[in-house]
Homo-oligomer: A and B are copies of this chain.
Amino acid sequence: MIGVGVIGYGYWGPNLVRNFSDIPNAELRWVCDLQTERLARLRSRYPAVQITEDIDDVLGDPRVDAVAIATPVSTHFEIAMRALRAGKSVFVEKPITSTAPEAQRLIEEADRHGLVLAVDHTFIHTGAVKKLREVIRKDLGEVYYYDSVRVNLGLFQHDVSVMWDLAVHDLAIMDFVIGARPRAVSATGMSHVAGSPENIAYLNLHFDSPLIAHVHVNWLAPVKIRRTLVGGSSKMVVYDDLEPSEKIKVYDRGITLDPMASRAGERKNQMRIGYRAGDMFAPQLDITEALGSELTEFVACVEAGTRPTADGEAGLRVVRILEAASRSLARDGALMELPQERVLA
């Protein structure tokens, strides 16, 4: 039995509490939040859970093995570091930290103590994204492009830009589903409210392969779109998260190369690049709630000392891209090289 504390009970915290409550080998012992009115409601729903405004109550409890952190991004690093130093494994909301060096230090601290460090990249635990990964790796052939749009009319965040709020999802998904790591990034975007972070942004990701990736995020769109197109040399796939059941569609489509009939005024023996259009296939998807699967995996990792799918490194890779994209955006879209990942001997 793994003892768990939840730190932060705002927008996402109740989902953590509800899901931890349903995991047989987890015992939710504490919920910590600074706002007491939120905790009142919790008290009536989960009378067995202890409530506190003092994080030390949670970190000081020897029966707590792990904490889940759902506080504002700017506080992730400090709280996670305190938890790791108190010997607790950590599950932290996305993005893992505000800066790459912070994420790096959390990874090192977790490694030092043999603790689990997981980041909440929820989408990679959905049936749709797991299938997307499988399709990309098995069916697509060489991956040509990855194009993702995540726009809607949404509440502006006052502390982070639309990239750190929305593109983080696309980057986490892309990190999971394609094998390649980007070499450089550029971004453009704009804020339409004085003093507020960017509410629209476009990211271009460059790779060493002939892969091109692009992310469009927007808090100010009249319609909601959650669509990713991935094209490969053998097949193409559309992941539309708003489709009620057919979220993944695999198209047997691609390029064909035909010798072109010579035409007056044209070079002979040129190839005409055409296309072929074949069947479409929408596989049945696992519909288990992603957060439930994710927390179950986290608890299992804490029990067994194993590494979760979205570990600190995954969180770090995403933050590195967001940091570089933010620098690019501030410099009119200048291309920013991404640091090479450390290669472990």
A311 to chain B minimum Cβ distance, whole angstroms, is 29
Q: How far is the CA of A345 from the CA of B189 in the complex (A)?
A: 36
A68 to chain B minimum Cβ distance, whole angstroms, is 19
Question: Which stretch (A78-86, A206-214, A298-306) binds chain B?
Answer: A206-214
Q: Which residues between 130 and 155 of chain A lie within 8 Å of chain B, taking CB atoms?
A: 144-145, 147, 149, 151, 153-155
Contact flags (1/0) for A150-175 with B, using CB distance below 8 Å?
A: 01011110100000000000000000
Nearest residue (CB) in B for A46 is B44
A304 to chain B minimum Cβ distance, whole angstroms, is 29
Q: Which residues of B contact A158 (CB under 8 A)?
A: 260, 270-273
| Contact A188–B190 (Cβ < 8 Å) | no
Tell me whether A342 is interfacial, beta carbon within 8 Å. Answer: no
| Contact A281–B281 (Cβ < 8 Å) | yes
Known contacts being A34-B265, A144-B192, A202-B202, is A278 close to B274, with CB within 8 Å?
no
Q: Which 10 A-B pairs have the closest CB atoms?
A: A156-B273, A222-B236, A222-B251, A280-B282, A34-B264, A190-B212, A188-B204, A144-B192, A278-B284, A153-B275
29 A-B residue pairs with CB within 8 Å: A44-B45, A72-B265, A145-B190, A149-B149, A153-B275, A155-B274, A156-B273, A158-B260, A158-B271, A186-B186, A186-B333, A188-B204, A188-B206, A192-B255, A193-B255, A193-B257, A200-B212, A204-B333, A220-B236, A222-B237, A222-B238, A222-B251, A223-B238, A224-B244, A242-B244, A279-B283, A332-B335, A333-B333, A334-B334
**Which A residues form the contact surface with B (CB < 8 A)?**
34-35, 44-48, 72, 144-145, 147, 149, 151, 153-156, 158, 184, 186, 188-190, 192-193, 196, 200, 202, 204, 206, 210, 212, 214, 216, 218, 220-224, 229, 231, 233, 236-238, 242, 244-246, 249, 251-255, 257, 260, 263-265, 270-275, 277-284, 332-335
